[in-house]
Amino acid sequence: MLLAMKAVKGITFFCVFLLAHIFISCSNLMGYGVILWSIPEENLYDGDIVPVYIKSNINEVYVIGIPGTDRKIELPLWQITDPVSKKDAEKNALRFQEYKGVYALVKEDGLIVRNEPTNTGRQIYRLKQDEIIKVLYKGKGAPVANFEGDWLRVIMQDGTIGWRFSYNLTLFNESEGIKGNTVVEEVDEVLESVLKTRWYPESYQTMIRNNTIDIEAMNPSHGFITGAQSKITELIMPSFSLSYSYEGVQKIDKNVYEFINTPLTMTIKNASAVVIQYKDSSGKLYSYSFTALADNPADLISAEKSRRQVLFNALLSSGPSYSSSNYGVLQFIEGNSFLWTGYSLLSPSVIPSGAGSRGKVELKYFLGKELSFVYDGILSLSFDSRDEEICFFYKLEETGLRLEHLPFSLISNNTAERQSSNPLVMFFAR
């Protein structure tokens, strides 16, 4: 029994010795591979062609030879191309020639590496700021709006290979080291500013720019609330509202951020404009544009109400009663009301039958630029017994009030840019 055990041990030792000898000699050449990531301590650099002898799937390594020596080393599988004939390896090496020795420094945290050279490609890796990656070659991909650069095939230090747009990468040659910097936005500072801002629907900025504040459409509570302090973000619109708790905000692409653990993403267009997107439970994508305002909407609404009241008060103080031999007597009353009698010639063509004589006055519509030189404003009259509005251009003159019927079809976005082709003009004396 003892002899048998010694025999087994002897055989085992011989096998180990034989395998070690085979490993060292590596006489069975598998082929040739191209180094993808330099090994300067072994004087091996990306693009070099080396012989490959052994592949270990267990240890995930190749055994390669170092050209010009008898030495052999282990190399991770990802660090070299699969072994092929020397001729084919030389062809493979040509593909990497343009970017031989070229690496890239990642300038921003969270940049995405994709499976295809397009911004819609599947995410396969998320880069970290100051991470070093190897550039393999340049590819043809979908353009990235408003940004110059190229789609690059890159490899990370864990062996992941994918596509990354070159913007926000600092390319450098390993022989020279990292020199200079690419022009990169201080996105973190922009993001910090964005998170501190209260965002309102883009339509509010349009109202302000055109001086056409619609107090029914402008609501101080509507908009996008980042929740920088509370970590609760809110999307409040006229027809719905959403609220989500989130852990933080992380960058997923150039100027694009996601609120972690929410269906919301945010694209920063500039310091005063963002776009919020979200997917509902069915996967349908919605997109809303928001703007930063210099003034509080509540103050804008208050100022607009005051403007309208000033206009109505002018009608009161100049009249308050105006009369026409053809169109009756129009009287303005405190509380933004009116009394109109004797308008039979206007019924039913302008004023519906049975409208009555009393109603409310509003000055909520606006004159187009050209019409603002002709009239003072637009009167919107709503008779108590009728739901529809009846609108008139109006002009206070020295001796009375001039009205011109304004068909509602000529009002767009609360503004009248033109008159009727066959206008009905009326004059009421004081």
For 145-200, the pLDDT digits (tens) are 556 789 999 999 999 999 999 988 999 998 876 654 443 344 457 888 899 999 99
pLDDT of residue 191: 86
pLDDT of residue 247: 82
- My answer on whether 379 and 285 are in the same domain is no
Domain boundaries, position 212: 188-294
Mean pLDDT of 420-430: 95
pLDDT of residue 20: 44
Does 252 map to a domain? yes
For 344-399, the pLDDT digits (tens) are 999 999 999 999 999 999 999 999 999 999 999 999 999 998 888 999 999 999 99
pLDDT band at 143 (very low <50, low <70, confident <90, very high): confident
**Residues 152, 134: Cα–Cα separation, whole Å:** 10
Q: Are 283 and 291 in contact, with CB atoms under 8 Å apart?
A: no
- My answer on whether 329 and 371 are in the same domain is yes
**Residues 358, 387: Cα–Cα separation, whole Å:** 13
pLDDT of residue 251: 84
Share of the chain above pLDDT 90, in %: 75
| DSSP code string of 175-240 | TT---S------HHHHHHHHHTS-BEEHHHHHHHHHT---TTT--TT-EEE--TTTSEEEEEETTE
pLDDT of residue 123: 92
Question: Residue 155 belongs to a domain with what CATH number?
Answer: 2.30.30.40
Does 140 map to a domain? yes
Does 214 map to a domain? yes
Cα distances from 241 to residues 186, 238, 244, 265, 408, in angstroms, run 32, 8, 10, 16, 32
**Residues 421, 430: Cα–Cα separation, whole Å:** 28
Give the tokens for residue 286.
Answer: 């919605």
Mean pLDDT of 108-114: 89
Point out the domain boundary residue: 255, 278, 294.
Answer: 294
Q: What distance separates the 2 farthest-apart alpha carbons in the chain?
A: 138
pLDDT band at 4 (very low <50, low <70, confident <90, very high): very low
Does 234 map to a domain? yes
Does 423 map to a domain? yes
- My answer on whether 331 and 350 are in the same domain is yes
Non-local (6+) Cβ contacts of 203 within 8 A are 217
Question: Residue 54 belongs to a domain with what CATH number?
Answer: 2.30.30
Query: What is the 3-class SS of 302-313, one letter each residue?
Result: HHHHHHHHHHHH
- My answer on whether 425 and 305 are in the same domain is yes
**Residues 198, 204: Cα–Cα separation, whole Å:** 13
pLDDT of residue 187: 42
Does 22 map to a domain? yes
Average pLDDT, the chain: 88
- My answer on whether 199 and 168 are in the same domain is no
Point out the domain boundary residue: 87, 112, 138.
Answer: 87
For 6-43, the pLDDT digits (tens) are 333 444 443 443 444 444 444 589 999 999 999 999 99
pLDDT of residue 330: 98
Return the axis-axis angle of helices 297-318 and 202-210, rounded to nearest 10°.
Answer: 40
For 311-356, the pLDDT digits (tens) are 999 999 999 999 999 999 999 999 999 999 999 999 999 999 999 9
Beta partners for residue 169, in sequence order: 106
pLDDT band at 283 (very low <50, low <70, confident <90, very high): confident
pLDDT of residue 189: 75
Does 394 map to a domain? yes
Closest CA to 167 of 92, 232, 255, 102: 255
pLDDT band at 2 (very low <50, low <70, confident <90, very high): very low
**Looking at the 3D structure of the chain, how many domains does it have?**
4
- My answer on whether 412 and 310 are in the same domain is yes
- My answer on whether 199 and 276 are in the same domain is yes
Does 2 map to a domain? no
- My answer on whether 315 and 397 are in the same domain is yes
- My answer on whether 210 and 275 are in the same domain is yes
For 29-86, the pLDDT digits (tens) are 999 999 999 999 999 999 999 999 999 999 999 999 999 899 999 999 999 999 999 9
Point out the domain boundary residue: 241, 260, 294.
Answer: 294
How many other β-carbons are positioned within 10 Å of the β-carbon of residue 158? 8
- My answer on whether 378 and 310 are in the same domain is yes
Task: Kindly report the pTM of this predicted structure.
Answer: 0.57
- My answer on whether 39 and 160 are in the same domain is no
pLDDT of residue 280: 87
Residue with the larger pLDDT of the pair 18 and 274: 274
- My answer on whether 287 and 323 are in the same domain is no
